[in-house]
Every structure is written in structure tokens, then in C-alpha cells.
Chains A and B, each alone.
Chain A
Amino acid sequence: MAAASASSFTSLKSRPAPGLATIAAVKSGAPLSFSFRRPVPAVSRLRISCAAKPETVEKVAKIVKKQLALPTETPVTGDSKFAALGADSLDTVEIVMGLEEEFDISVEEDSAQSIATVQDAADLIEELVQKKCG
């Protein structure tokens, strides 16, 4: 019975979630990302994987720059790899911890291993924040 209610809960969730994300984007003043308007098929496994908001990528880039003590004009985009920016493994863990603190999330061990670029980190954060709030 719990499984049935859980699956009905997820299928109910899959439809309003894009709308909620749009509302959240409007509230935060970010430009509306029209990729959220695509209808999500109600599959049994709820996994909406969409690109991270640009402001999340901005925040991640700011934290990365502060941690690695890079000058502010260094370009840090979504594709920048942490290793290319001069971060060793301890730096990467510390950046993930900083992101945990900033966004008030908790990153699992296996998710943390897969983070290689700034975009990965931003996507993971979006996913965790949605899971927490939505």
C-alpha cells in the first residue's frame, strides 16, 4: 500500500514540478528558462534532468574562484574542469563542502566522486535542492 501511494505520489509530482520550477525562477528574478515547459512523461522513476540555472552556475563559479584563490577575471564557465583550474583532490572535496554549506544540501559519497566540471556540480546542486524542496 505504501508502494502504491508512493508511485501515485511520484506521478502526481511529475506534472506540477515543471510549473513550480518556472514559478521559482520568476520569484528569484532569473530569466525564464523555456526548457522547463516541456511536458514530462509520467514514468515510474521520477528523474527530471534539466540544465542547471545560470545563477547556480554563477554561484558555483564564485565559490570555486574563492577556494582556489583565482583572480576574478579568470574565466570559469560550466565546462571548466576543477583539475584544469589547479585544484587537487582535497581542493575538490573542500569545494563540494563549501557548496554543501552554501546551498544547505548534503552530497552523497558516490555523487561527489562524479563531479569533474563546474556544470556537473551545478546540476547536482539543482537536483538536490529540488529533491529537498519539491
Chain B
Amino acid sequence: MGERAAAASLKFVTVQANSASLAEARARVFEFFKTTCRSIPTVMEIYNLQDVVNESQLRSAVSSEIRRHAHITNPKVIDMLLQKGTEELHNIVQHSKQRHHIIGQYVVGQRGLVHDLGTKDEGTSDFLKNFYRSNYF
């Protein structure tokens, strides 16, 4: 596991992503995903998430975040999203965030925070639930 973390840490010195084509942007996305997955053990140790979540759940949270933008075809937009993702990962690994941020954003996720928590929410409209989740539905 030591070499996985070491391999991941080298990637943080990144240049500005400037993909020439969709294929290159795709490759960068997979690289980013792999770096993130290899940093997951570090994150779990930093924020003491061992009792809250396990590694595969965090991995699927990351992949669902990536999959939300899977329909995008413009390489520049993909680069921008990758830059935001790298910045987020950097903040998390450098311990600039706190435990409740990680739990709220990646463990509980978008659905658990707001809705379907009690019987009073079961009657609310699907439109509102979708609206809270994202702008495009």
C-alpha cells in the first residue's frame, strides 16, 4: 500500500490540462480516477473514517461523481472539470477539509442529506427532489 500512496502523491504536481482530443481527455479522466482511488486509504486514515464507510463505498462515490458528467464531449469542459476535481482531491488529502465535510459530501451523498429522511418527505413531489439533486433532469 505504501507504493500505491507514493505513486499517487507524485501526481499532484500537475500541469494545466490541455487535451487535444476527446481520447486524451478520457485518458486523463481515468488517470485522475486512479490517483483518487489510490489516495483513498490515506483519506480514510486522515479523517478516521474506518467506522463510517469502507473503501469500496468511497470508490463508488467517486465514480458516481465522474459518471454524472459522462455525457460531456467537449475536451475543454472535461479539462475544467478535471481541474476542479484535482483541486478538490488536493484539498482533501492536504487535510484542508474536515471530517464532516467528507461525510456530508461523499459518504452520505446528495440524496441522504436532504430528503427521504422521514415520513413527512415521502409525499413531496419528485420534481422538487430532482431539482434539489441537480439542475438538469
Contacts and interface: CB of A to CB of B under 8 A. Distances in A.
Interface in B25-67: 26, 30, 33-34, 37-38, 41, 55-56, 59-60, 63, 66-67
B63 A94 contact: yes
Nearest to A66: B56
B33 A90 contact: yes
A90 B33 CA distance: 9
B59 A97 contact: yes
A89 B30 contact: yes
A129 interface: no
A94 B60 contact: yes
Interface residues of B, number: 19
A66 B70 CA distance: 22
B67 A97 contact: no
A97 B70 contact: no
Interface in A86-131: 89-91, 93-94, 97-98, 100-101, 104, 106
B122 interface: no
B7 interface: yes
Interface residues of A, number: 12
Given A98-B56, A101-B55, A106-B7, A93 B34 contact: yes
A90 B70 contact: yes
A100 B59 CA distance: 12
A65 B7 CA distance: 28
Contacts of A93: 30, 33-34
Contacts of B33: 90, 93-94, 97
B115 to A, nearest CB: 23
Top-6 shortest CB links A-B: A97-B37, A94-B63, A93-B30, A106-B4, A106-B3, A93-B33
Interface of A: 66, 89-91, 93-94, 97-98, 100-101, 104, 106
22 contacts: A66-B56, A89-B26, A89-B30, A90-B30, A90-B63, A90-B66, A90-B67, A90-B70, A94-B33, A94-B59, A97-B33, A97-B34, A97-B37, A97-B59, A98-B56, A100-B4, A101-B37, A101-B55, A101-B56, A104-B1, A106-B3, A106-B4
Interface of B: 1, 3-4, 7, 26, 30, 33-34, 37-38, 41, 55-56, 59-60, 63, 66-67, 70
